[in-house]
Structure 1
Amino acid sequence: MNQHLSVFPKRLYALDALRGIAALAVVFWHWQHFFFQGAVPGELQTEQQPFYSVFSLFYRYGGDAVALFFSLSGFIFFWLSGHAVAQRKLTGKQFFIERFSRIYPLHLATFGAVALLQTVYTRYTGNAFVYPFNDLYHSVLNIFLAPAWGLEQGWSFNGPAWSISVEVLLYAAFFLLWRYSPFPTLVSFLLIAVAACIFPAQYKITLGVFSFFCGGVGYVWVAWLLQRAPTRWVGICLATGCAAGWWLFGADQPLIRFALLFPLTIMAIAACHQLLEPLARRLAWLGDISYASYLLHFPLQIIAALLVDKFFPGRNVFYQPWTLLLFFSVLIGASLICHRWFERPMQQWLRQFGHKRLANGVIARQ
């Protein structure tokens, strides 16, 4: 397949919007945290959660959005980086610098924030908030982005960061696959098959491998179709197949959602990007702040729980619509500030520093 990049523009705003919506779906799913008793789920009146009639899909299935994140990552990496890695236009050191500068600063900052907040919360209540394994051993795992590699004893610190931990393994697998395998798509199918056989054992890693490479293969397929058929017809066929798939299989079969429906949804959205772009441009900022909103929402939940425990008679206040509106307003505002004043500057500085060191190393060897 030639000219992979030519089938899409440099940025697909619709996929950015989808990533942002997925991040917020996880926040809805985690609204149940406010009703935990320590690390144990408490009594939750699911349908009494704020605006349940509007956001019931997110409240019920928002946890699956993590698999959608993995599929989006696979699609985007196969699209934007696969052939650059294969043709050695992107070296291992460059790839590492780009990924490290993107994910590590905010991960480390939110890990530190949660460590402090959990200490306060534990002193105040006698137990941790939701994720209990906040000891030195799990600190080391989190610092080295390894809290979901099978070395952990349970959930720890900023629990949602488990997916970032798995992403690190997926980045390494992706790079090795495209750099050293002459048949990356075929090997991707093999990885999908192995992960499907193991799933749900080693749930975190197998879900990541399964979803990431399904998303990557989805890119290969849609690129192949767009090079051989008019964009309009490809978009119509994929959108129709996507709608039919969700109607037939969407409710009760998670593996089908992860293997077929999520990648098919991404493919359909990508193929229909010209139609979706006017609206997607207005929502793309949600994608820009998705990483911040994903990692910030748990430390903000600890703060919210501490404030409610201090000033209200019980956690039932979290059934009130105003608490959801206030929490999301703070989260989105904090995410915008974090993205603008922390993520982007840190990413730019680390990349400049890393590439400068890399260039100096090349000059020294010459």
Structure 2
Amino acid sequence: MSATSAPAERLYILDTLRGIAALCVVFWHWQHFFYVGNSPSDFDPTRQPFYTALAPLYQHGGLAVQLFFSISGFVFFWLFAQGVATRRVNARNFAVDRFSRLYPLHLLTFAAVGALQFVYSNSHTGFFVYPFNDAYHALLNLLLVPAWGFERGWSFNAPIWSVSVEVLLYTLFFVICLAGRWRWLLTVIAFAAGLMLYPDNYKIGSGLLCFFAGGLAYGVLCELRKWLGSGPAFLAACCIASGSWGSQIWLYDAINPTLVICLCFPATLAALAAAGLHWPGLLRSTAWVGDISYASYLLHFPLQIAFALALDGLGYARENFYSPGLMLAFFAVLIPLSLACHKWFERPVQRYLRRSRLANPRQSGTRASA
């Protein structure tokens, strides 16, 4: 079985959540428009568009990246763990599946950011937000390793850092799953390693912690469904999720990131997945938000540079980015652009690479095995 030959079900509810998380990052990064160099200047967070309604996203939207990691862990254990453990999913096709999904759009947006930053730096005193746009960091980005500890700071399309960490996580996940029945013990060890690294080693630590927390949430849900059945398992998962969020509210005056990413996020994923498995097709109509999540995540920063260049070129002050109308205009470009990118770039390139000799060395580039 190839890496794409996964269980037939699709958890549309998690796809939708992934798309919402990607948009949360955009709200979190709205502050970029008020940066001078690599830090905000004369920035009033409470003046951001729709602040009263969107305050949690402006204050805690960065946690959406950790939610990405948790969703990835849950979904990968659901789709691939058993196949890898039984050797039905081989390393080559698994790697091609991931490469074809991640690298083409990364390469495209890396080039776009490089070009836009060149234009920006020629008309400003420095780069837009992320300063390390040199040849060394270009190489790290081309190798998709800008978050492995070799970097001096944030560079180029910096949101790609989470994807860079996921490459490491996919490799570790595959190796752990090869251990067969021992994979759950190794998953607990990987989770514990992330807990020890986070938050001092923020990038790799949060990746390990959240990805394998998501995997453990999948394992717990499997046991609940095995012993209780679908409906009762959904109710039990909802109780666990409610209890985890209740603990956060009861014990802390503010958001405790460690509790949220260790307990609240994975418990919530288990509850939502239980709902999706109990009611197949739940939120099917909104799954397109998840389909474009990778595009909206990678495209939002180059689009921010383009908007900043446009307003600066027209002589408008950056204070205009406090305007709700300008935010609506930004999303009116981002969403259609992400849809178009997914339909006419991501999917065709993925199909080509997954049918190429890269995935099937005995086949020609125009033929593919089933």
- Same fold by TM-score greater than 0.5: yes
- Asked whether 1:309 is paired with 2:308, we answer no
Higher mean displacement: 237-246 or 302-311: 237-246
Runs of at least 5 residues in structure 1 that lack an aligned partner in the other structure: 361-366
Amino acid at match of 2:288: W
Cα distance change, pair 276–119 in 1 and its aligned pair in 2 (3 A)? farther
Cα distance change, pair 107–300 in 1 and its aligned pair in 2 (3 A)? same
Shift of 1:278: 6.2
- Asked whether 1:336 is paired with 2:336, we answer no
Q: How does 1:83-122 map to 2 (within 5 A)?
A: 83-122=82-121
Tell me the equivalent position of 2:169. 170
Tell me the equivalent position of 1:194. 193
- Asked whether 1:264 is paired with 2:271, we answer no
State the alpha-carbon separation in 1 of the partners of residues 8 and 59 from structure 2.
Answer: 34
Higher mean displacement: 160-169 or 49-58: 49-58
The size of the alignment, in residue pairs, is 355
Shift of 1:193: 1.2
Tell me the equivalent position of 1:137. 136
Amino acid at match of 2:61: G
Shift of 1:146: 0.3
Runs of at least 5 residues in structure 2 that lack an aligned partner in the other structure: 365-370
Tell me the equivalent position of 1:355. 359
Tell me the equivalent position of 2:56. 57
SS, match of residue 170 in structure 1: helix
Cα distance change, pair 110–294 in 1 and its aligned pair in 2 (3 A)? same
8 A Cα contact 1:222 1:267, kept in partner:
yes
Tell me the equivalent position of 2:228. 229
Tell me the equivalent position of 2:149. 150
8 A Cα contact 1:150 1:202, kept in partner:
no
- Asked whether 1:296 is paired with 2:296, we answer no
Shift of 1:55: 1.5
State the alpha-carbon separation in 2 of the partners of residues 328 and 247 from structure 1.
Answer: 33
- Asked whether 1:33 is paired with 2:32, we answer yes
Tell me the equivalent position of 1:320. 323
8 A Cα contact 1:226 1:234, kept in partner:
yes
Residue identity (%): 47
Higher mean displacement: 233-242 or 346-355: 233-242
Shift of 1:46: 1.2
8 A Cα contact 2:196 2:205, kept in partner:
no
State the alpha-carbon separation in 2 of the partners of residues 238 and 84 from structure 1.
Answer: 25
Deviations 1:275-325 (A, max 9, x none): 776661121100000000000000000000111111243111111110111
Deviations 1:110-165 (A, max 9, x none): 00000000000000112000000000000000000000000000000001000000
Higher mean displacement: 31-40 or 306-315: 306-315
SS, match of residue 356 in structure 1: coil
Shift of 1:359: 4.9
Deviations 1:79-115 (A, max 9, x none): 1000111111111111111000000000000000000
Deviations 1:200-232 (A, max 9, x none): 122100100010000001101101111111322
Cα distance change, pair 212–12 in 1 and its aligned pair in 2 (3 A)? same
Tell me the equivalent position of 1:127. 126
Shift of 1:246: 1.7
- Asked whether 1:253 is paired with 2:247, we answer no
Larger fraction in helix: 1
Shift of 1:190: 1.1
Tell me the equivalent position of 2:241. 242
8 A Cα contact 1:14 1:277, kept in partner:
no
State the alpha-carbon separation in 1 of the partners of residues 61 and 108 from structure 2.
Answer: 25
Amino acid at match of 1:357: P
User: TM-score normalized by structure 1?
Assistant: 0.93
Deviations 1:30-67 (A, max 9, x none): 00000000212223211211111222121111100000
SS, match of residue 157 in structure 1: coil
State the alpha-carbon separation in 1 of the partners of residues 12 and 219 from structure 2.
Answer: 19
State the alpha-carbon separation in 2 of the partners of residues 198 and 294 from structure 1.
Answer: 25
Amino acid at match of 2:146: P
